[in-house]
């Protein structure tokens, strides 16, 4: 596949990349995917081959290349910011830092019950799940305020358009998406879309701080 997502807008591209990953896991087919987008390569690949002038410079898993670039060309191709983000070996995937107890509600509950739960848990939105814990969407204070005179049940007003990530997703991908999309949180689901956790903007503060402050400390030492 030669840069199949290159001409798409960012949101469509993200969605198709996620779908592509699901298809690959289902079909169990080896796919050679050509791209000049390092973020795309890191997100999709099990193994990355970096070429220069038709010659192989480095081959390896994304994490291996990010942690141990073969030479200066690979470092520049990857980008310094990605190397910094991969410098902490303790937190690599969303499973390691997500909250495993997101606040949820079922679609058959009333809007009054939803508001009471929000007040009790000190949150302004709820993830809506079915009896099997499959994620259906979300409701928040604004949605309920707009619809409370026209609807009674959560299922009547829930929004299904919600960005999710699969368990096992690289944390740096999730950081990029949260910051780029400006969302407050990202639900983490399994391959059957069952809710298994949530990553919030607040939980990313330490990682972003370490990335920025770690770089500043390194520059201070070098100076």
CB 102 within 8 A of CB 198: yes
Write out pLDDT tens, residues 73-126: 988 888 766 654 544 445 567 887 788 999 999 999 999 999 999 999 999 999
Tell which wins on pLDDT, 26 or 10: 26
Tell which wins on pLDDT, 137 or 170: 137
What's the pLDDT at 211? Answer: 52
CB 157 within 8 A of CB 147: yes
For residues 135 and 164, what is the distance between their CA atoms, to the nearest angstrom? 10
| Mean pLDDT in residue range 41-49 | 89
- The whole-model pTM stands at 0.63
| Mean pLDDT in residue range 1-20 | 86
For residues 168 and 140, what is the distance between their CA atoms, to the nearest angstrom? 27
pLDDT tier, 17 (very low <50, low <70, confident <90, very high otherwise): confident
Both tokens of 112, joined, read: 């009054």
Angle at 196 between CA 145 and CA 142, to 5 degrees: 10
Candidate ranges 7-16, 23-32, 208-217; pick with highest mean pLDDT: 23-32
Tell which wins on pLDDT, 14 or 85: 14
For residues 41 and 168, what is the distance between their CA atoms, to the nearest angstrom? 16
Helix (H, G, I), strand (E, B) or coil at 199: strand
| pLDDT exceeds 90 at position 132 | yes
**Which spans in the chain are helix H?**
10-27, 38-44, 62-67, 72-78, 80-85, 111-121, 141-147, 171-181, 205-222
Q: 1-7, long-range: CB within 8 Å, 24+ apart, which pairs?
A: 1/31, 1/32, 1/33, 1/34, 2/34, 3/34, 3/35, 3/36, 4/33, 5/40, 6/35, 6/37
What's the pLDDT at 87? Answer: 45
What's the pLDDT at 194? Answer: 93
| pLDDT exceeds 80 at position 24 | yes
Write out pLDDT tens, residues 55-78: 999 999 888 888 888 998 988 888
Write out pLDDT tens, residues 146-198: 988 889 999 999 999 888 888 877 776 677 667 777 778 889 998 889 999 99
What's the pLDDT at 223? Answer: 42
For residues 170 and 137, what is the distance between their CA atoms, to the nearest angstrom? 23
What's the pLDDT at 82? Answer: 62
For residues 53 and 100, what is the distance between their CA atoms, to the nearest angstrom? 47
Q: Where does the chain hold its CATH 3.10.580.10 domain(s)? A: 95-205
What's the pLDDT at 208? Answer: 58
What's the pLDDT at 141? Answer: 93
Closest CA to 134 of 197, 196, 194: 194
DSSP state of 40: H
Considering the segment(s) 95-205 as one domain, its CATH architecture is Roll (3.10)
pLDDT tier, 217 (very low <50, low <70, confident <90, very high otherwise): very low
Write the Ramachandran bin of 190: left for phi over 0, alpha for psi from -120 to 50, otherwise beta: beta
């Amino acid at each position: 596949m030669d840069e199949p997502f290159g001409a798409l807008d960012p949101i469509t591209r993200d969605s198709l990349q996620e779908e592509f990953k699901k298809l690959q896991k289902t079909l169990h087919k080896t796919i050679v995917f050509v791209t000049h987008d390092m973020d795309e390569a890191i997100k999709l690949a099990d193994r990355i081959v970096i070429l220069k002038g038709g010659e192989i410079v480095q081959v390896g898993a994304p994490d291996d290349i990010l942690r141990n670039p073969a030479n200066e060309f690979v470092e520049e191709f990857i980008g310094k910011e990605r190397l910094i983000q991969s410098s902490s070996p303790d937190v690599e995937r969303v499973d390691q830092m997500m909250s495993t107890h997101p606040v949820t509600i079922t679609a058959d509950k009333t809007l009054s019950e939803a508001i009471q739960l929000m007040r009790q848990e000190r949150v302004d939105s709820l993830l809506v799940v079915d009896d099997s814990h499959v994620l259906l969407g979300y409701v928040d204070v604004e949605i309920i305020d707009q619809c409370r005179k026209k609807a009674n049940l959560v299922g009547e007003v829930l929004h299904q358009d919600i960005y999710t990530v699969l368990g096992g997703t690289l944390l740096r991908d999730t950081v990029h998406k949260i910051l780029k999309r400006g969302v407050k949180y990202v639900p983490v689901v399994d391959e059957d879309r069952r809710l298994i956790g949530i990553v919030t903007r607040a939980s990313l503060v330490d990682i972003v701080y370490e990335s920025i402050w770690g770089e500043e400390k390194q520059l201070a030492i070098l100076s």
